[in-house]
């Protein structure tokens, strides 16, 4: 028997009713969201639009992301969302052109970044990545007093290497120096380093960005958002697919890449919508948040527990799903209350969304996609 299909279009946007006295940026302000076609960035754009802001999203290709305009128009009305094409983020002057051709940008949600988990030598990769991250910061600073706030997207792995056997307490000052040392150690085979190279890259890049901020002291507020595994609804599954770590949840469903899932120690997940709303809170609300590292941690998770949730939601599919290794439960203590306080500014008084909510909405996205693919296949047969 096939799985019961709980399918629907992307859920209707939930309007954010932020009290006027809590607003740092006035409604109608223009917010720049980089890599807007990605999983997190598309949700960030959606939440800014819901809060009454205009959004300019950067994309590598206008033609490949044309679906974003009708998507956001259908959810928020016309003339609030636009795109700027940037095929090469590292090209000289490319970020200055964004600000000069789109005057009035007041906030930057910088989401786009390296997603290649196979980093063998983090130092040159970090140097290359840091160059174009800093060039965006410099362009924002050159925009004068127009830009009021900036959020840089980092990774939870810039703070620590998850290990379910260890009890760790994370703070604002936690850095994953362990991963840097391991990645640089030439005496250890690459096969034994796991994801240390990628973790080291994220650590080095965020440290480098903070070094620039301390040295240059830009006039805008600056914060970093440390995001762990992101799970939840995909706004446009047919066009986006099931991207990023949301796609790893689908691997459980399809019993694929189990060896990769087994590389992921129990840690924390971040719901797509919660993560997106943190950008709104950090960039657009007051009391103003400045020079903080904020953890986007919704709930503890492991892919073993993700599989258990999927099997409970779709028991008819259970025997076809992957069976990731049970490594137990993460024991890390994290400062997640700060994120909950920020979400409360937007009216989300009940705190973070649960792992089960995020997994269910994640599954509904790919079931919607699969149903669409089946329909396309059916129609192609008729056409022949």
Q: What is the number of alpha carbons within 13 Å of residue 272 lying toward its C-beta?
A: 29
Sign of CA dihedral 245, 248, 253, 254: positive
Global confidence as pTM = 0.92
> Strand 149-155 to strand 105-110: parallel, antiparallel, or no bridges (unpaired)?
parallel
Give the start-to-end residue ranges of the domains of the chain.
23-233+269-303+335-355
| Non-local CB neighbours of 62 within 8 Å, separated by 6+ positions | 83, 85
User: What token pair was written down for 50?
Assistant: 């819901």
Give pLDDT, residue 13: 62
Give the C-alpha separation, 84 to 139, whole Å.
15
Report the number of secondary-structure helices (H) and strands (E) in the chain: 13, 10
Give the C-alpha separation, 384 to 376, whole Å.
13
The H-assigned helical ranges of 23-119 are: 39-50, 68-76, 94-101
Q: Which CATH architecture has domain 23-233+269-303+335-355?
A: 3-Layer(aba) Sandwich (3.40)
Percent of the chain with pLDDT over 90: 82
| Non-local CB neighbours of 152 within 8 Å, separated by 6+ positions | 110, 133, 206, 209, 222, 223, 224, 225
Mean of per-residue pLDDT scores for the chain: 91
Give the C-alpha separation, 272 to 361, whole Å.
10
pLDDT in tens, 199-225: 999 999 999 999 999 999 999 999 999
User: What token pair was written down for 119?
Assistant: 């980093």
Give the C-alpha separation, 230 to 242, whole Å.
12
Dihedrals phi, psi of 26, to nearest 5 degrees: -70, 150
Q: What is the number of alpha carbons within 13 Å of residue 237 lying toward its C-beta?
A: 25
Give pLDDT, residue 2: 37
Give pLDDT, residue 8: 39
Q: What is the mean pLDDT of each run of 10 residues along the chain (384 residues)?
A: 38 72 93 97 97 97 97 96 95 94 96 78 91 97 93 97 96 97 92 89 97 97 97 95 93 96 95 97 97 96 98 97 97 95 92 95 93 48 28
Among residues 140, 170, 137, 139, which one has the least CA distance to residue 156? 170
User: What token pair was written down for 89?
Assistant: 């983020």
Contact 108, 136 (CB under 8 A): yes
């Amino acid at each position: 028997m096939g799985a019961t299909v709980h399918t629907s279009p992307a859920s209707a946007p939930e309007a954010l009713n932020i009290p006027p006295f809590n607003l740092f940026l006035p409604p109608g302000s223009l917010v720049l969201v980089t890599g807007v076609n990605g999983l997190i960035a598309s949700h960030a754009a959606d939440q800014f639009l819901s809060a009454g802001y205009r959004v300019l999203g950067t994309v590598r290709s206008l033609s490949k992301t044309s679906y974003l305009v009708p998507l956001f128009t259908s959810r928020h009305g016309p003339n609030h969302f636009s795109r700027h094409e940037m095929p090469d983020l590292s090209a000289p002057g490319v970020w200055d052109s964004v600000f000069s051709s789109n005057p009035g940008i007041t906030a930057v949600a910088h989401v786009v970044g390296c997603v290649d988990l196979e980093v063998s030598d983090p130092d040159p990769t970090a140097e290359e990545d840091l160059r174009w991250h800093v060039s965006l910061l410099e362009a924002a600073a050159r925009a004068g007093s127009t830009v009021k706030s900036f959020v840089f997207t980092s990774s939870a792995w810039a703070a620590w290497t998850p290990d379910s056997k260890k009890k760790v307490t994370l703070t604002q000052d936690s850095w994953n120096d362990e991963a840097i040392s391991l990645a640089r150690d030439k005496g250890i085979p690459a096969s034994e380093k796991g994801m240390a190279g990628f973790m080291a890259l994220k650590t080095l890049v965020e440290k480098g960005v903070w070094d620039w901020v301390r040295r240059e002291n830009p006039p805008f507020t600056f914060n970093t958002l440390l995001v762990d595994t992101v799970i939840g609804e995909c706004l446009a599954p047919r066009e986006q697919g099931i991207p990023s770590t949301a796609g790893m949840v689908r691997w459980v469903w399809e019993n694929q890449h189990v060896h990769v899932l087994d590389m992921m120690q129990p840690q924390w997940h971040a719901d797509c919508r919660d993560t997106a709303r943190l950008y709104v809170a950090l960039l657009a609300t007051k009391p103003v948040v400045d020079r903080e590292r904020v953890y986007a941690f919704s709930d503890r998770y492991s892919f073993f527990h993700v599989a258990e949730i999927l099997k409970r939601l779709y028991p008819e599919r259970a025997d076809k799903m992957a069976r990731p290794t049970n490594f137990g439960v993460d024991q890390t203590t994290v400062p997640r209350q700060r994120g909950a306080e920020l979400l409360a500014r937007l009216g989300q008084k009940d705190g973070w969304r649960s792992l089960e909510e995020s997994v269910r909405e994640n599954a509904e996205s790919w079931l919607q996609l699969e149903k669409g693919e089946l329909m396309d296949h059916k129609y192609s047969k008729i056409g022949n």
